[in-house]
Structure 1
Amino acid sequence: MKWLNYHHLLYFWKTAKIGSLTKAAAELHLAQPTLSSQIKTLESNFGAKLFDRSGRTLALTETGQIVFRYAEEIFSLGEELTEAVQGRTPEERLKLSVGVPDALPKLVVYQLLKPALDLNEKVQFVCIEGKFQELLGELALHRLDLILADSPVPPQTHIRAFNHLLGECGVSVLGTEELYDEFHERFPQSLDGAPVLLPTQNTVLRRTLEQWFEANCIRPFIKHEFEDSGVLKVFGQSGEGLFVVPTAIEEEVCRQYSVRSLGRISEIKERFYAITVERRLKHSAVIAISNSARNSLFQQKAP
């Protein structure tokens, strides 16, 4: 059996957390060449690079991110072990690891997760952002408890996972005060030729929007496309174009980004799922998330 050198793992973990070999070496009371050599030995043992080095900047590779997540858990357990042996019982917390696809609106993520914070048990979230297919792989390896997504697991995916529909809502078209004044009359026909900011082609919302535009003979001017929903909203806030959000978070987006709603498109439905490896939900935090979403968040509000 090939044993893992935990000293090397500790050196890697500290360096990854600090982001600098020089500062990590100082904290560990090691010479920088010694620290660099120990990390290279760990990389050699794993047979993969853990850092991409560009000058003095360190960035974790894909393998490095996996190793770092394990190291976080290993050394967190080590601290708990020390406290337990010394007679100090660590505060009990319910841990929930959540996968979040890049394009999923972060306000939706927050609103979905928020009810778990009201449980009697204290909940610690570990949110991992990434591509949907990559997150499914992490779920299959039981590194995630659930994935929040705006689409179900594709039928052709060879992963045993179950889709739990949390709810659905229409979409709202938002824009700055100036764009509202220019395009709110005759909505939605006013969208023809209007500057819009859209999610990229690989998203469910983009495909649905394009079908709706085609069906209604509307041809907006696609000014920019974004994979990250947060960046899209910042551009929308600056007046670069109109943008679309789930109606469930319309009021909060308007408040946070100082924009107005031109109108709602009820024919387009945004659906949100909790994806787990369990047919029936068992984790108390996930049950709280599911119940709140179905009974509150996605109850359509009147315009």
Structure 2
Amino acid sequence: MDIRSLRYFVETVRLSSFTQAAEALHLTQSTISKMVRQLEDEVGAQLLVRDGRKLSLTDTGRIVYQHGQDMLASMRQLTLEIRDTQALQQGSLTVGVPPMINVLFTPVLKAFRARHPQIALRLLEDTGQQIERKVAAGELEIGMTVLPAEPTLELVSAPVASYPIWALAEPGTFQKQRTTLPFKALAELPLVLLKDEFALTRSLRQHFAQAGFTPQIAAQSGQWDWLVAMAASGLGVALLPEPLIHRLAGEKVEAVRIVEPEIAWQVAHIWRGQYLSHAARAWLEVCSEVLGTDDGGVGLRAAR
């Protein structure tokens, strides 16, 4: 089976569009269509049903797509291992990092660059869910996310850090001199939360259910700084992890730590549990030393 045709087919299915696949692969749409037809000829069956601009998989197409993803991931892994043995002191690494986590890694980047100037490092910013999907699909070797990761994905995690959650609000919302707030007290307050695709919000919703109350959600956003602005304006109480609290100098808000229970924002590295390149291992080692974690020796646990 022609790997190139398979790659074009998988990308077309993933994007549900010949046009978008052509743009992503920097090819013409006619080239993509031709290669998909060649794959259909090779398989001896129709793979896609074309209904105007809508694409859907046939039964055979679904099988080819599922196995095709695994084959392409295996090819990327093979290429990675071959390159790694040929360039033990050089290489490149792309690390997936959600925007809310990148605040932690400035000192890591500086230390990594100083120790491994020969390794080209690239950071890919995306949501935690997208990074998990890309790592599971073999599109990224390693990434960062907030636990728990999607349980249906075959991922391995290595914890990096754990931070408490704080409540932020306009001055006067909480009792004077208070430094902590019981979780159940949130039942009486309007809340402004991150969107549901964020692991923190999914974790909070589980805690709301366990505590036996339905939260009063005034608004949700994918931007933490907007949540802070909403909290400062009196719209509601924002719930954010501790590292972001330290970036609020000058903001007109007051903050108290959530307790009873104390909810953890757990940051972790994730990968597929296969071979890790020397560049990825070097990244983990530097993270371990700079952030004080225990996983420079790549201590592992299943993310499921």
Match of 2:287 among 269, 286, 289: 289
Q: Do residues 164 (structure 1) and 158 (structure 2) align?
A: yes
With over 3 angstroms needed to count, the CA separation of the structure-2 counterparts of 1:131 and 1:108, relative to structure 1, is closer
Q: Distance in 2 between matches of 1:2 and 1:280?
A: 25
Q: Do residues 237 (structure 1) and 229 (structure 2) align?
A: yes
Q: Distance in 1 between matches of 2:111 and 2:143?
A: 20
Match of 1:265 among 238, 258, 266: 258
1:142-157 → structure 2 map (5 Å cutoff): 142-153=138-149, 157=152
Q: State the Cα deviation string for residues 208-230 of structure 1 (Å, max 9, x = none).
A: 4346557778875310134x2x2
Aligned-residue offset at 1:16: 4.1
Q: State the Cα deviation string for residues 154-193 of structure 1 (Å, max 9, x = none).
A: 6x6462x322111211111123xxx223345466366453
Q: Distance in 2 between matches of 1:139 and 1:147?
A: 7
Q: State the Cα deviation string for residues 72-128 of structure 1 (Å, max 9, x = none).
A: xxxxxxxxxxxxxxxxxxxx975322234xxx5x24224236413322223421415
* Contact 1:200–1:225, Cα closer than 8 Å, also in 2: yes
With over 3 angstroms needed to count, the CA separation of the structure-2 counterparts of 1:118 and 1:45, relative to structure 1, is farther
With over 3 angstroms needed to count, the CA separation of the structure-2 counterparts of 1:272 and 1:117, relative to structure 1, is same
Structure-1-length-normalised TM-score: 0.55
Q: Secondary structure at the match of 1:188?
A: strand
Identity %: 15
Q: For residue 181 of structure 1, what is the aligned residue in structure 2?
A: 172
1:6-85 → structure 2 map (5 Å cutoff): 16=23, 41=34
Q: Distance in 2 between matches of 1:285 and 1:249?
A: 23
* Contact 1:171–1:268, Cα closer than 8 Å, also in 2: yes
* Contact 1:113–1:289, Cα closer than 8 Å, also in 2: no
Q: Distance in 2 between matches of 1:131 and 1:234?
A: 19
Structure 1 unmatched runs, 5+: 25-34, 54-62, 64-69, 71-91, 296-303
* Contact 1:99–1:128, Cα closer than 8 Å, also in 2: yes
* Contact 1:174–1:260, Cα closer than 8 Å, also in 2: yes
Q: Aligned pairs, how many? A: 229
Q: For residue 80 of structure 1, what is the aligned residue in structure 2?
A: none
Q: Distance in 2 between matches of 1:215 and 1:139?
A: 31
Q: Secondary structure at the match of 2:173?
A: helix
Q: Do residues 248 (structure 1) and 243 (structure 2) align?
A: yes
With over 3 angstroms needed to count, the CA separation of the structure-2 counterparts of 1:48 and 1:243, relative to structure 1, is farther
